Amino acid sequence: MKWRTLETKKGIRCRVLEAGSGAPVVFLHSAGGLLADNPFLDDLARRYHVFAPEWPGYGDSTGEDLLEDMLDFTLHGWDVVDALGLSRPHLVGHSMGGMIAAEMACLAPRDLGKLVLVGAAGLWLDDHPIPDIFALLPFELAELLFVDAQKGQALLTGGADLSDLEALKDFYVASQRRLAMAGKILFPVPNRRLSKRLYRLTAPTLILWGAADRLIVPAYAARWKALIPSARVELIEGAGHMLPYEQPEAFASAVGAFLG
Amino acid sequence: MKFTWFNLMPWPYLPDDFRDDPRRGHHVYHTYLDQLEYAESLGFDGIGCNEHHQNGYGLMPSPNLIAATLSRRTSRAALCVIGNSIAGYNPPIRVAEEFAMLDVISGGRLVAGFPVGTSMDTNFCYGQIPALTRDKYREAHDMIMQAWAGEEPFAFDGKYNQLRWVNCWPKPIQKPHPPIYIPGGGSIETWDFCLDHDYNYSYLSFFGYLRGKSLLDGYWERVAKRGKDESPYRAAFAQIICVADTDAEAEALYAEHCLYFFNRCLHIFPPFADPPGYRTMATVKYGALSQLTQSRQKILENLTWKQLVDERFVIAGSPETVRQQLEECIKGLRIGHLFCLMHNGNMPDWKTRHSSKLFAEKVMPRLRDLWPEWKHDERWWIHPMDERIRPEERRPGAEKPREGWPS
What is the pLDDT of chain A when averaged over all its residues? 96
User: A94-98, A126-130, B107-111, B265-269: lowest mean pLDDT where?
Assistant: B265-269
Residue B329 has pLDDT above 80, yes or no: yes
**Longest CA span, chain A:** 51
Distances B289 to A138, A143, B167 between C-alpha atoms, Å: 16, 25, 47
**Domain range annotation of chain A:** 2-259
B358: containing domain = 2-393
Instruction: Give residue B206's identity as a one-letter amino acid code.
Output: F
More confidently predicted of A173 and B350? B350
The pLDDT assigned to B8 comes to: 80
Contact A93, A41 (CB under 8 A): no
User: A170-184, B13-27, B208-222, B280-294: lowest mean pLDDT where?
Assistant: B280-294
Mean pLDDT of the B5-17 span: 75
The answer to whether the Cβ–Cβ distance between B129 and A135 falls below 8 Å is no
Q: Report the C-alpha gap between B190 and B196 in whole angstroms.
A: 10
Mean pLDDT of the B195-218 span: 93
B-interface mutation test, from A67, A172, A187, A191, most B Cβ less than 10 A away: A187
The answer to whether the Cβ–Cβ distance between A179 and B275 falls below 8 Å is yes
Q: From its phi and psi, is residue A52 left (phi > 0), alpha (psi between -120 and 50) or beta?
A: beta
Residues 6+ apart with CB under 8 A from B273: B118, B119, B120
Q: Report the C-alpha gap between A121 and A49 in whole angstroms.
A: 25
Residue A215 has pLDDT above 60, yes or no: yes
Q: Report the C-alpha gap between B96 and B112 in whole angstroms.
A: 10
The answer to whether the Cβ–Cβ distance between B288 and A172 falls below 8 Å is yes
The b-or-e profile of A2-16 (16+ CB within 10 A means b, else e) is eeeebebeeebebbb
- Nearest by CB to A169, which of B123, B276, B292? B292
Residues of B in contact with A177 (CB under 8 A): 276, 281
B13-39: pLDDT as tens digits:
776 555 668 888 899 999 999 999 999
Element (H, E) at B291: helix B281-292
The pLDDT assigned to B392 comes to: 76
Q: Is residue B162 part of a domain?
A: yes
What is the pLDDT of chain B when averaged over all its residues? 91
The pLDDT assigned to B292 comes to: 55
Distances A19 to A4, A22, A42, A199 between C-alpha atoms, Å: 10, 10, 7, 33
The pLDDT assigned to B11 comes to: 78
Local structure of B119: helix, strand or coil = helix
User: A119-123, B40-44, B274-278, B292-296: lowest mean pLDDT where?
Assistant: B292-296
- For residue B136, the chain A residue with the least C-alpha distance is A68
Contact B116, B104 (CB under 8 A): no
Residue B80: pLDDT band with limits 50, 70, 90 = very high
Q: Is residue B402 part of a domain?
A: no
- CATH 3.10.310.10 for domain A2-259, yes or no, is no
The pLDDT assigned to B273 comes to: 81
The pLDDT assigned to A248 comes to: 97
DSSP for B249-287? HHHHHHHHHHHHIIIIIT---GGGS--TTSS-HHHHHHH
The pLDDT assigned to B328 comes to: 97
Mean pLDDT of the B242-260 span: 97
Count: domains in chain B: 1
Distances B182 to A207, A232, B50, B110, B160 between C-alpha atoms, Å: 49, 54, 12, 14, 21
Q: What is the CATH number of the domain that holds B43?
A: 3.20.20.30
E strands, B7-83, are: 46-49, 78-81
Contact B333, B237 (CB under 8 A): yes
The pLDDT assigned to A181 comes to: 97
Residue B401 has pLDDT above 60, yes or no: no
Global pTM value: 0.90
Other CB atoms within a 10 A radius of the CB of residue B293 amount to 12
Residue B6 has pLDDT above 90, yes or no: no
DSSP for chain A? -EEEEEE-TTS-EEEEEEE--SSEEEEE--TT---S--HHHHHHHTTSEEEEEPPTTSTT---GGG--SHHHHHHHHHHHHHHHT-SS-EEEEETHHHHHHHHHHHHSGGG-S-EEEES--S---TTSPPP-TTS--TTHHHHHH-SSHHHHHHHHHTT--TTSHHHHHHHHHHHHHHHHHHHHHHSSSS--SGGGTGGG--S-EEEEEETT-SSS-THHHHHHHHHSTT-EEEEETT--TTHHHHSHHHHHHHHHHHH-
- Nearest by CB to B129, which of A136, A169, A183? A183
Sign of the CA dihedral with A52 first, then A58, A62, and A68 last: positive
Q: Report the C-alpha gap between B131 and A74 in whole angstroms.
A: 18
Q: What crossing angle do the helices spanning A70-84 and A165-186 adopt, rounded to 10°?
A: 110
| Distance in Å from the first CA to the final CA of chain B | 44
More confidently predicted of A162 and B287? A162
User: A72-76, A198-202, B396-400: lowest mean pLDDT where?
Assistant: B396-400
Residue B391 has pLDDT above 70, yes or no: yes
- For residue B288, the chain A residue with the least C-alpha distance is A169
Residue B93 has pLDDT above 90, yes or no: yes
A70-124: pLDDT as tens digits:
999 999 999 999 999 999 999 999 999 999 999 999 999 999 999 999 999 999 9
Residues of A in contact with B275 (CB under 8 A): 134-135, 179, 183, 187
Residue B405: pLDDT band with limits 50, 70, 90 = low
Mean pLDDT of the B75-89 span: 96
- The pairing of strands B154-157 and B162-166 is antiparallel
The answer to whether the Cβ–Cβ distance between B277 and A180 falls below 8 Å is yes
Residues 6+ apart with CB under 8 A from A140: none
**Longest CA span, chain B:** 69
The answer to whether the Cβ–Cβ distance between B275 and A178 falls below 8 Å is no
CA angle, residues A174, A178, A180, in degrees to nearest 5? 115
More confidently predicted of B135 and B266? B135
Distances A130 to A122, A257, B31, B128, B269 between C-alpha atoms, Å: 11, 30, 41, 18, 19
Report ipTM (2 d.p.).
0.87
Local structure of B355: helix, strand or coil = helix
The pLDDT assigned to B125 comes to: 95
Residue B291 has pLDDT above 80, yes or no: no
Other CB atoms within a 10 A radius of the CB of residue B335 amount to 29
Sign of the CA dihedral with A175 first, then A178, A180, and A183 last: negative
The pLDDT assigned to B55 comes to: 84
Contact B1, B370 (CB under 8 A): yes
| Distance in Å from the first CA to the final CA of chain A | 22
User: A169-173, B316-320, B361-365, B371-375: lowest mean pLDDT where?
Assistant: A169-173
- The pairing of strands B78-81 and B235-243 is unpaired
Residues of A in contact with B270 (CB under 8 A): 137
Q: Is residue B242 part of a domain?
A: yes
- For residue A183, the chain B residue with the least C-alpha distance is B129
A117-161: pLDDT as tens digits:
999 999 999 999 999 999 998 789 999 999 999 999 999 988 788
Q: Is residue B404 part of a domain?
A: no
For chains A and B, CB pairs below 8 A equal 72
The pLDDT assigned to A238 comes to: 97
Residue A164: pLDDT band with limits 50, 70, 90 = confident
